[in-house]
Structure 1
Amino acid sequence: MSKVPNSRKWHRSLTIAGGGRNLMDPRQRIDQALERALGRTTAPGAPPLLAQAMRHAVFPGGGRFRPRLTLGVALACGDDAPELTDAAAVAIEMLHCASLVHDDLPCFDDADMRRGQPSVHKAFGEPLAVLAGDGLILLSFQNLAEAAALHPQRLGTLVSLVADAVGVPNGIVAGQAWESEPEVEINDYQRAKTAALFAAATMAGAAAAGGVAADWRILGERLGEAYQVADDLRDVASDPETLGKPVGQDAALGRPNAVAQFGVAGAVGRLKGLIDEAVTSIPDCAGAQALRALIRKESESFLPQALASYAA
C-alpha cells in the first residue's frame, strides 16, 4: 500500500487556525462520515451484496487526500457548518471511489487489484461493480442533500460544484472518455481525469463553510494536475506492492502521461512547478499560512522514493 501522509499533523495545525473546531483526526472524521452515509445501503430491503460491494470500494481507502483537502479548506475558512463539510468531503471521496471502481472494469483498465485488495469486479463480479459505482455516485448526492437541510442556501452551489467535477464537459466522465478518443491533448485529459475533482474538493470546502468557492479553484486544479503527474511517475517508478495496484498501465494501454511527454526529469520539474502554483494561489484567510505550509509538507509524499534524487 502507498504511504499515507501524516494527516494528524495536517488537521491539528488547521484547527488552530480555524478556531479550534472539530479536533477529531481528519481520517477518523472522514471515515466516520463515510460509515454514516453507507448506513443507507444496509437499510431494510436493500440488496446485501450491493452493500458489501459499495463498502469494499470505500474501505479501507487510500490516503483520502481529496476529502482531507475539503476539510482543510473548510477549516481555513472557519468551518461553521461541520456537518455540511463532512457531507461535502464524503461526496468527493465517494465520487472518487466510484471512478476507481469503473476505471478498474475489464472494459477500461481490467485491473485485478486496487488499494492492495481485489478490485470490486474481481471480488463481486462485473454487474455488481457497475452498480456499486453507480450507487456511490448517487449516494454522494443523497447524503449531501440531507446534510444541507440546515443550510439550504449553500446546497445549490455545492451540488453544482460536485456535479461539474463528475460530468461533462470537463469532469471525471469526460476524462475517462478521452481514453477512447483517437487523439488527446494531455492537459485536457489530466484536467478532466484528475484536476476537476481536486478543484471540486477545495471549492466545496469553501462553499460548505460559507466562503467564496471560486477563490479556491486554482489550488485544487494545480494540486490535481500535480497529483496526476505524480501518479504517472509512480506508474513507472513504483512496484505493485507499494502502490497497491498494477504498474506500467499507462505504457501498456497507450495512455497520455507526463513521463511519456516530458521524460522523468521533465515530469518531476512540472510536478514541482504545479505545487508552487498551488501554494501561491491560496487566498488570504485566517488559516492561509498554516494551509500553505501543510500543503508543501503533504506534497513531499507525491514523489516516489525511487525518484528522490530528482528532488534535489
Structure 2
Amino acid sequence: MQTDIAIKVSLGGMRRVFEAVDDCLHVEHYSVADPNVSLAKLTRENGNRAITTSLGSGVGTFVVAARDSELRLEQKGRVLFQGLMVEDSLTFVEGPDPIAVELQSDACLYVLTFLREPFRGPCSVVGGRFNIRDVRLRDLIGEICESSPARRGELTKDFSRLAFEHYRSLPRVHPLSAWRLSRVRRYAESRLDRRMSLEELADVAGFSRAHFAATFKAATSMSAHEFLLRMRIQAAARLLIGTDLALVEIALQTGFQNQPHFTTVFKRITAVTPRKWRKSRRSAVMAQSREQMADGVVVIEHLPGQPEGFLPHALH
C-alpha cells in the first residue's frame, strides 16, 4: 500500500485536507498520478466524543463507508446526511464547497475527491448528491488503495463510471428530506426500547407507508428495517462498553425480544458475540488510557449521550 502521509495524533490539531483532528483520528493520504484526483482514508478508533472535520473541496466527492459509521454531512450549512452510514454504502456530493463531516462514533471512510469534473458519462445528478450501496464499489476502492499511483488514476475512473451506472439504474425517487429524517429520528430515539411500526414512523414523517419506505431507502441506501437493526446494535454497543449491564438487560433496553435474538443479530453485523466484543473493546480502551496517561494526556472517558441516527420500522 503506497501512501503519501499516515498521521495518528494525540490531541486536536490542523492537518491539510482534514482540518480538525482528534486523539483517535488516523488519516492516510494516497498518492495518485492523476492530478485531478485526491484520495484519503479516515479511520477513527475508540472515540469518546463527537468530532468535526472538513473533507476539503472539489467538483465532486465520493464518501465510502468501509464499516458502519455514524456521521453527519453538511455543505454550506445544509444537512446532506445524518445518521448511520452502513458498511459498503456510498454517498456522492457535487459542488465546490467544502463538506463538513461530524463523526459520532468509530468510523472508517474512504474519501475520493475529483478536483475537476468527475468521469460520469451522460448522467445528471438529482440535487447534486445520491446514496447507493454496492459491495463491488467497496472492493474497487480497496483495490485502488492497494495499487500503484499510476494504476489508481485509471481505477478511479472505473469507480466513478460504476457508481454513476448504478445511480442511473435506481428508481427516480427523491430522498426523504433531512428535516423529516431528523423528526423521525428524534421520535424514535425516545422509544428505542419498544417496537415501532413502519406506519407509525411514516405518520411522523407525514407520508403514507409506501411513500415513506421508498423515500427513506433513497435517503439512506437501505430498508428501514435494516437501518433499525443497525441502530439498535449501535445503541447496544454503547451500553456494552459504557455500562456493566447484563446482556439480557441491554437486549431489552435496545428493543430486542430476548438475549439470544440480540446475540444472533449482533454477531451477524459485527462478526463477534456481544460478550467478546465488550471484552475486546474494554481492553483496547484501557490500553489507550494507560498510553495517554504515560504521555501526560488527560482523557475524559465517557460516551456520547445521544446517538445520531434514524430508527425506523419494527424489529420482527
Fold conserved between structures, TM > 0.5: no
Structure showing greater Rg: 2
Scaled by the length of structure 2, the TM-score of the pair is 0.26
Which one has the bigger strand percentage? Answer: 2
Which one has the bigger helix percentage? Answer: 1
